[in-house]
Every structure is written in C-alpha cells, then in structure tokens.
Amino acid sequence: MSGAESIRVLVVDDHAVVREGIRHVLSDGTEFSVVGEAQSGAEAVASATQLLPNVVVLDISMPGGSGLHAVGELLERVSGVRVLMLSVHEDVEYVLESVRAGAHGYLRKDSTPAELREAIRALHAGRTYYSPALAAQMTEALRKGKEAREEAPAQATDVLTGREREILVHIAQGKTNKEIGAELGISTRTVEAHRDSLMRKLGIRTVAGLTRLALEQGLLE
C-alpha cells in the first residue's frame, strides 16, 4: 500500500488462536496494521477508544455477552470506525441482527484469507461487505418477507397485544429490557413478563428470530 497509510485493524475474539490467525493473515505487506487485540466486547470498546482503529473485526459470540452488544458503543465512541462481524453462524437471522446492530459487514470464520482482506478493504472504503452466499440468503429472506407482508401484513403478530407489539419492536431494535422499560415507563420486570408472553405466543425464543419477524412484518420500516 505504497504512499498511503495502513488500514488500522482491531481484532476481537475470545480465542487466542483465532486472533493470531487473523494477525498472520493481515501481516503480509504494509496494507494492514493490526493495532491491537481484545477478547470481549468491553475490551473491544476500551481498546478501540484508545487505539482508534479504522476497522474492528468482531466475533459475534463471546463469553459475557454477544459481540453485537458492543457494536453500538463502538460506533458511538470511535468516529468513523467500521465493524466487520466474524462468525461461525451462516443463518441469515444472525446476519440481519448484525445489520440492525449497525455492523457494516459479516464474514464466516471459514472464509479465505483473501476474502477477509477484501472485506476489510471494502469497509475501509466506506462500502459494506457480506460473503456472496450470505448476501444471496439475505436478499432472499427480505424478498420473502416483502411478499408475506403483501399477502398478510400482520398475520403473525395478530396474536400480540399492543404493548407486546411495542416491546417486540424495541427488542428488534437491539434495546435491553432496562432501556425498553425506561422508554415505555414500565418496570424491567414488566418488560420481562411481556417479552416472555410474546415469545411464547410467537413460538420464537431468540432475539435473532424476533428481529427477522419484525423485519418481515414491516414493523421496523
């Protein structure tokens, strides 16, 4: 990367061997500079605030909280930072949840070194990047969601009360029970009760699943 500054990368994963592998992949030449490593979302935010990376390569699943929870704080605390989620999951629900959290790209951990480098370049250039197979799945999921809304706009959520629907939207926006309670003027315990009820009615037990449903039903538009 002659005549230009290296792309500053922060690598976040709870497995040292994964961090070392990424560091090795990015060590060929001067195009990339791994400025630091972290093994949790909290460490990622603290390190990024100090090191000011251009791109954070962030594991989606780590002990002590999903990497998704760190995305918003990273974007808020570090001006211009771009976030690439790294995951073993290829389910489109995880990709959609990453998008909702504010991530700019999503890559599977079994991607090639060349694809990792290309993803980081794309994010640094202001673009998004998703593995071709994942991008195709995401497009198909959104297309099916659009068709479902046109045929039955609120069929799946008809079983919910107005309050449960409100809470579903807030959950899909990535808010915690405490944040939802503060916005709606109700206790955290009440939020938890409504959350349990709507999950039971919908037959969905994950935030990723609820986010996908909210997108398909057009509740986030």
pLDDT, tens only, 24-74 = 999 988 899 999 999 999 999 999 999 999 999 999 888 766 788 888 889
The topology under which CATH files domain 141-216 is Arc Repressor Mutant, subunit A (1.10.10)
Greatest mean pLDDT among 11-15, 161-165, 193-197 lies in: 11-15
The confidence band for 139, taking pLDDT boundaries of 50, 70 and 90, is: low
pTM reported for the whole predicted model: 0.64
pLDDT-above-70 percentage for the chain: 86
Interior/surface letters 118-148, b for 16+ CB within 10 angstroms, e for the rest: ebbbbbbeeeebbbeebeebbeebeeebeeb
Domain boundary assignment for the chain: 7-134, 141-216
d(CA 198, CA 192): 10
Name the more confident of 3 and 135: 135
Contact of 211 with 93, CB cutoff 8 Å: yes
User: How far apart, in whole angstroms, are the C-alpha atoms of residue 163 and residue 160?
Assistant: 8
pLDDT at res. 34? 97
DSSP symbol at 53: -
* CATH architecture designation of domain 7-134: 3-Layer(aba) Sandwich (3.40)
